[in-house]
Amino acid sequence: MNVTMNTQETKKDGKVATPEVAAEGQQEASSLYTESLAHRNHSDHKTEPHITAKDFSIYYGDFEAVKKINIEIPEKEVTAIIGPSGCGKSTFLRCINRMNDLIPSCHTSGELIFDSHNIFDPHVNVVALRQRIGMVFQRPNPFPKSIFDNIAYGPRLQGIKSKAELADIVENSLRNAAIWDEVKDRLNQNALGLSGGQQQRICLARALAVKPEILLMDEPTSALDPKATARIEDLIDELRGDYTIIIVTHNMQQASRVSDKTAFFYEGNLVEFDKTEAIFTNPRMKQTEDYITGRFG
Amino acid sequence: MDIKSRSILDRSFTGFAIFAVILMVLSLIALLGPIIYNGLGAYIFDATIEHKKVLMDLFERGNKEELKAETEKTNTARQKLYSVMTEFEPELKEMIDKNPERGYALDSDYDDFKKTVYKLLGPKPGAKTPVMARDRFGATRWDKALTILNSITELPEWDYSSGIGVKTFKPRRDLYKGTKLEKAFDDYLTPSFLKQMLEPGWTFYYGFLTDQSYDAHFFGGVWPEVLGTIYLTFGSMLLAIPAGIIAAIYLVEYAGDTKLVSFIRSCIGTLAGVPSVVFGLFGLACFIGKDSIFSISENASVAAGCATLALLVLPTIIRATEEAIRSVPSSYREGSIGLGATKWECITKIILPSALPGILTGIVISMGRAAGETAPIIFTAAVSVGKAVNLDNIFSQPTPALPWNIYNLCTEHQEVDQIRYVQYGMVFTLVAIVLVLNLSAIYLRARVSKKLRG
């Protein structure tokens, strides 16, 4: 099925008469991507796709930021998205829980399927969707409230009022984010008083408190020092198997350390998507190889 | 530019800045100093026994027995003056018969003399109680008493010898040379004997804030004005704060960026600069009278004044709130939306609390403005003289208010020179009210932003 779709796409590209080189690159990328997908489908049947993109494009006004990508993100694994700045990886990540709704000029085409529904179906309840798909941002952004209120924010939105229940959720979330021991004595203090690394773990705990199925991480360590980065990476490792994690990162070592699968985006195209090992040791595409060896980006 | 002249520039800028700050502090002192000094004179002053009589007669405060004893004591002193006067009166009649020229001159002056003495000491014992409250009591303040005493002992005279009239004073005593009244000037109409007749003593008159006024502010305090100012300030805030915040939320979060919205925004900016008297006339046209568009009351009323003042401060509150909401980091918004909050939950739980310090700043500014504005309430809510308005009458009754009555007192009161201290006291009270309102709002804002900062 994927193969037929890709042929259609190639045809279309031909019709629109895009510059030859680009069309060729896309064709190559698409075919390779299909191959790798086929490979994946043959080799491991254990994991089901959690998020499926079908010919999914994202536009800012007239500009096509993400171009007709097809990807199947496996459940309860860590998927890293890498690529140079402006390649559309963050844009794609933000679309998964429809954070792009905050940008008026942003619109999409194609399908992005989660739980057998198109995320961009007008009937989708965005609030419910965002509770199932949590997000951690590039810069730590705790609310200017106490640590307790930060973590309890999501559960309270869901209507949980019982103090004991909230306290339970807060403790569990903070334990899961490996910060309970550091903050258990000062839950009533303002979260902005913590260090950057601690704040980011608070944000992670805050996302976990809503009990999401998927965690989106948009360069979660780019504003942190190496030590704090290592702690977040350890944390991602611990969360593996319980959550589907999609992490956008500029740091290729980080992608190779934490992820099971890696997707390489370039200029809005999904160039290659494979097991992380394969991407970093034996990339099929020249662009990928150039990027991970540091020749550009 | 070489490094030396750059550092000179830098240093001279620092110098200018310090100079500007010092200038500001000095002008603040120059402004507030006289207000506080003169204004406190309405609260703390050297009060005579007449002040105690006023409190007893009009407000039924004070110790009756003590006052009675003191009154008797001063009356014995005053009796000496009165007896000299009664001795002089037959002598004056006799003089009119013998020496009509001097007699009539003295007779007309003696009338003035008597009136001024009664102004100083109150009506003559046994006389009929005068109609006006101001005629029922003597000088209540010692400084006032000394001025009146001066006008008894000194007579103004105009000297035209140099071509221009020059005002000089000559002792009234000379006029009465050789009469029995001379003794009164020598022994009784002196500051030291006046002390025996009036028994002055320093007092703190808290009633200036809490008493009704009597006889066009001759006696009593400014409570009706204070209460009116409080009604108008809080009433207008009650209307303007919710409306302003909701409008600002709508403009920032919901309205989008269309041409219409930017037009509305510039309208709000213009409205903030419209002279307040225009708002006053607008309030008169729209809120007052049966046939007006949004009729609130038949005549001027507290509620109509509140509505007018609310319109006046609305643009300020909208703009401050807009700025405050805009300055909330977008990462808070993203974090909140990302956790499954609806837009409304995000606004009420995250954005408004974070914007609160900025919103409070806008409220502080507008509260001071609402308390001090005169023009908008002249036509809509103010009345020159009146009793304190009850809360259930605010839709029908106008109220005295400090800013309007300060103006009214100095332009339309017949004898404002007699009661200047009331005017200063009103100004001081108004400044104090605005200061207290501002300080409490600043304290609140400091607490909120401390809580937000962690």
> Which of A95, A96, A124, A130 should one mutate to test binding to chain B, selecting the residue with the greatest count of B CBs within 10 A?
A130
Q: How far is CA B425 from the centre of its chain?
A: 6
Count contacts between A and B (CB, < 8 Å). Answer: 74
Q: What is the pLDDT of residue B37?
A: 94
Closest-CA residue in chain A for B350? A143
Contact A260, A78 (CB under 8 A): yes
Q: Chain A within 8 Å of B274 (Cβ-Cβ)?
A: no
Residue listed under structure tokens 């009555």 = B405
* Separation CA A9–CA A25 (nearest Å): 13
Intervals of chain B under pLDDT 50? none
Strand partners, B201: B47
pTM for this model (two decimals): 0.81
Q: What is the pLDDT of residue B157?
A: 84
Give A9: exposed, middle or buried? Use CB within 10 Å, 0-12, 13-18, 19+. middle
Contacts of B335 in chain A (CB under 8 A): 137, 141-143, 203, 206
Closest-CA residue in chain A for B256? A104
Q: Chain B within 8 Å of A105 (Cβ-Cβ)?
A: no
Give A224: exposed, middle or buried? Use CB within 10 Å, 0-12, 13-18, 19+. buried
**SS3 label, residue A25:** helix
Q: Chain B within 8 Å of A3 (Cβ-Cβ)?
A: no
* Torsion angle of C-alpha atoms B279, B285, B290, B294, degrees rounded to 10: -50
Q: What is the pLDDT of residue A116?
A: 85
Give B19: exposed, middle or buried? Use CB within 10 Å, 0-12, 13-18, 19+. exposed
Q: Chain B, 332-391: which have a CB under 8 Å from a chain A CB?
A: 332-342, 345, 349-350, 353-354
State the sign of the Cα–Cα–Cα–Cα dihedral A209, A211, A216, A220: positive
* Separation CA A172–CA A166 (nearest Å): 10
Run of H or E including A99: none
Distance from the Cα of B447 to chain A's closest Cα (Å) equals 13
Distance from the Cα of A237 to chain B's closest Cα (Å) equals 22
Q: What is the pLDDT of residue B46?
A: 95
Q: Chain A within 8 Å of B450 (Cβ-Cβ)?
A: no
B335/A137 Cβ within 8 A: yes
Closest-CA residue in chain B for A98? B338
Run of H or E including A10: helix A2-16
* Separation CA A45–CA B40 (nearest Å): 89
Q: What is the pLDDT of residue A297?
A: 58
Contacts of B341 in chain A (CB under 8 A): 127, 153, 157
* Separation CA A167–CA B36 (nearest Å): 55
Q: What is the pLDDT of residue B177?
A: 87
State the sign of the Cα–Cα–Cα–Cα dihedral B134, B136, B141, B142: positive
Q: Chain A within 8 Å of B454 (Cβ-Cβ)?
A: yes
Q: What is the pLDDT of residue A205?
A: 93
Contacts of B345 in chain A (CB under 8 A): 157
Q: Chain A, 150-189: which have a CB under 8 Å from a chain B CB?
A: 153-154, 157-158, 189
* Separation CA B328–CA A83 (nearest Å): 31
Contacts of A127 in chain B (CB under 8 A): 340-342
Q: Chain A, 204-243: which have a CB under 8 Å from a chain B CB?
A: 206-207, 210
Name which of A154, A192, A203 is nearest B340 (Cβ-Cβ). Answer: A154
Closest-CA residue in chain B for A96? B338
> Which of B333, B337, B339 should one mutate to test binding to chain A, selecting the residue with the greatest count of A CBs within 10 A?
B339
Contacts of A145 in chain B (CB under 8 A): 353
The residue among B160, B198, B162 whose CA lies nearest residue B77 is: B198
Q: What is the pLDDT of residue B406?
A: 92
Contacts of B338 in chain A (CB under 8 A): 97, 99, 130, 134-135, 137, 207
* pLDDT, tens digit (0-9, with 9 covering 90-100), for B405-419: 999 998 988 888 888
Q: Chain B within 8 Å of A102 (Cβ-Cβ)?
A: yes
Q: What is the pLDDT of residue B128?
A: 86
B338/A99 Cβ within 8 A: yes
Task: Give the pair of three-digit tokens for residue B360.
Answer: 């409070």
Intervals of chain A under pLDDT 50? 1-46
* pLDDT, tens digit (0-9, with 9 covering 90-100), for A42-93: 344 445 678 999 999 999 999 999 999 999 999 889 999 999 988 889 999 9
B339/A154 Cβ within 8 A: yes
Distance from the Cα of A197 to chain B's closest Cα (Å) equals 17
Strand partners, A64: A59
Give B430: exposed, middle or buried? Use CB within 10 Å, 0-12, 13-18, 19+. buried
